[in-house]
Amino acid sequence: MERGSRESFTRMGTLGIEEECFVVDEDGRPTSGTDELVYEHEPPEILEGRLDHELFKFVIETQTPLIEEPGDARESLLAIREALIEHAQAHGYRIAAAGLHPLAKWRELEHAEKPRYRSQLDRIQYPQHRNTTAGVHVHVGVDDADKAVWIANELRWYVPIMLALSANSPYWNGFDTGLQSARAKIFEALPNTGMPTYFEDFEAFDRFERRMLETDSINDRGELWYDVRPHTAHGTVELRTPDGQADPEIVLAFVEYAHALVEALAEAYEDGTSGHRHRRELLDENKWRAIRYGQDASFIDRELEGTVGLGELVDRECERLGIDGIKRVYERESGADRQRRLLEDEGPDALCESLFLQDES
C-alpha cells in the first residue's frame, strides 16, 4: 500500500506543477498517442521520469522538477512544455489543453492498459469510463504535517475562486453543457473527489488515509482525488482544482496565487490564528457557483454573512497577497466564453486550433 508519512513535510515554499494535456492529431482532434510518447519512444531528458499517461490514451501528464524558488516557476514550466511539444511533433502528434476536449467522445476513445487504470475501471465503472478530464495541479511545500492539514482546511474556501478563474470546459462529449467548467462536475462523479471535509490535525488525516487503504476503498493514496489535499508522500499541500490551460500565463497566475496563499496561511498558523470550520455544504455551494457561472460567479463570503462577486474577491486577494496574475486572468476573456465564441463564429477547426499548447509567454 503506497503511503506517505509525517516525516515527508520538511520544506516550506517549494513548488511543483503537474499538467494534464491532450494528445491530438494535426487538426487538433483527440487521438491515441500515449503508448508511443510514454513507452515506445524515449522522451527528451527533461521529461525522463516526469511524463506519464492518464486513463485515456489521449491524455498525457507532465510534472516539473522540484522548483526551489517561486521565481523559477516560469522557466521550469516553459521548458517542460517545450520538450513535450517537440516530443509529440517528432512522432506525428500535437498537444492541446483545456479542462475537457470539446470534441472528445469517450465511447470512441481508448482506455489505457496500465493495471492501475484497469483496476479503477473495474471498480468505479461508468463514472471512470467517461472521465476525459484534464486539470492543473499545484504543489506547495510545507515544513510541518499539522500545519499542512490546517492550511488544506483553510484553502477549501479559496478553491472556488481558482476554479471560476480557470473555467475552460463548456463542452463535453460533443455538446454544450451550459456550464463553465463541466470538467469539475464530470470529475466529481468519481469517489473521493470534490470538496474535502475538515480534518482536526495530521493524525486525523493519516488515520483516514490508512483506513481507506486498509478497507480496499482505494488502491493507493493517490486515489484520494479531492480538490485540495495534504500530499503525504511529497510533503506538500496540493491544489487540484483548475481546468487545463493552453496559455502558460494562466497556469503561472494560479501557481503565484497558490504559493502566496500557502505562505500567508502558514504565517497565520504560526501566529496561532483560529481556523475556519466551514460546513462542507456551503463550500460545495460556492464550488457549484464557480462551475455554473465561472467569472460571473458570486460567492458566499468567508464569514458566511453575505455574498461577494469574483471581481471584488480578485481585487481583494491581489492587494492582500501582493500578486497580480489572477487579476490579469480575470480581465481577459474566460476560457469557456472563448471556446463558445470560436465555435459559433469560426467553427470547430478554429476551436481546436485555439487549444494547442503554448510554450512561450
The residue ranges of DSSP E strands in 204-287, in sequence order, are: 225-226, 228-231, 236-239
The residues, ordered by sequence, that sit 6+ positions from 58 with a Cβ below 8 Å of its Cβ are: 22, 23, 24, 30, 31, 32, 33, 34, 101, 104, 109, 110, 132
Q: Where are the alpha helices (DSSP H) in 271-309?
A: 280-293
What was the pLDDT predicted at 361? 63
Taking alpha carbons only, the member of 61, 175, 192 closest to residue 124 is 192
Q: CB burial class (10 A; 0-12, 13-18, 19+) of residue 7?
A: exposed
316: buried, middle or exposed (CB in 10 Å: 19+, 13-18, 0-12)?
A: exposed
Instruction: Specify the pLDDT at position 350.
Output: 98
272: which 3 cell numbers? 496561532
**How confident is the model over 175-191, as a mean pLDDT?**
97
Task: Judge whether 182 and 99 are in contact, CB under 8 Å.
Answer: yes
pLDDT at 54: 87
- Per-residue pLDDT band for 4 (boundaries 50, 70, 90) equals confident
Cα 180 to its chain centre, rounded Å, is 15
Positive/negative CA dihedral, 90, 91, 92, 94 = negative
Residue 355's pLDDT band, with cuts at 50, 70 and 90, is: very high
Dump pLDDT digits (tens) for 112-122.
888 888 889 88
Give the pLDDT of residue 145.
Answer: 97
The residues near 276 (Cβ < 8 Å, ≥ 6 apart) are 153, 154, 157, 302
Could you give the percent of the chain with pLDDT greater than 70?
Answer: 99
Query: For residues 171 and 192, what is the distance between their CA atoms, to the nearest angstrom?
Result: 24
Set of cell numbers at residue 233: 508522500
Q: How many residues does the chain have?
A: 361
**pLDDT value, residue 117:** 87
Which grid coordinates are listed for 289? 457557483
pLDDT of 3 over the 90 cut = no
Residue 219 CB coordination number (10 Å): 16
Domains present along the chain, CATH in parentheses: 6-354 (3.30.590.20)
Least confident of 11-15, 162-166, 301-305, 332-336: 301-305
Convert the pLDDT of each residue in 205-244 to its tens digit: 999 999 999 999 998 888 999 999 999 999 999 999 999 9
Helix or strand run (H / E) with residue 183: helix 182-187
**Region of poorest pLDDT, from 195-199, 215-219, 286-290:** 215-219
Asked whether the predicted pLDDT for residue 141 surpasses 70, the reply is: yes
Confidence of residue 2 (pLDDT cuts 50, 70, 90): low
Q: Residue 136 is inside which H or E element, if any?
A: strand 136-141
Judged against a pLDDT cut of 70, whether residue 1 lies above it is answered with no
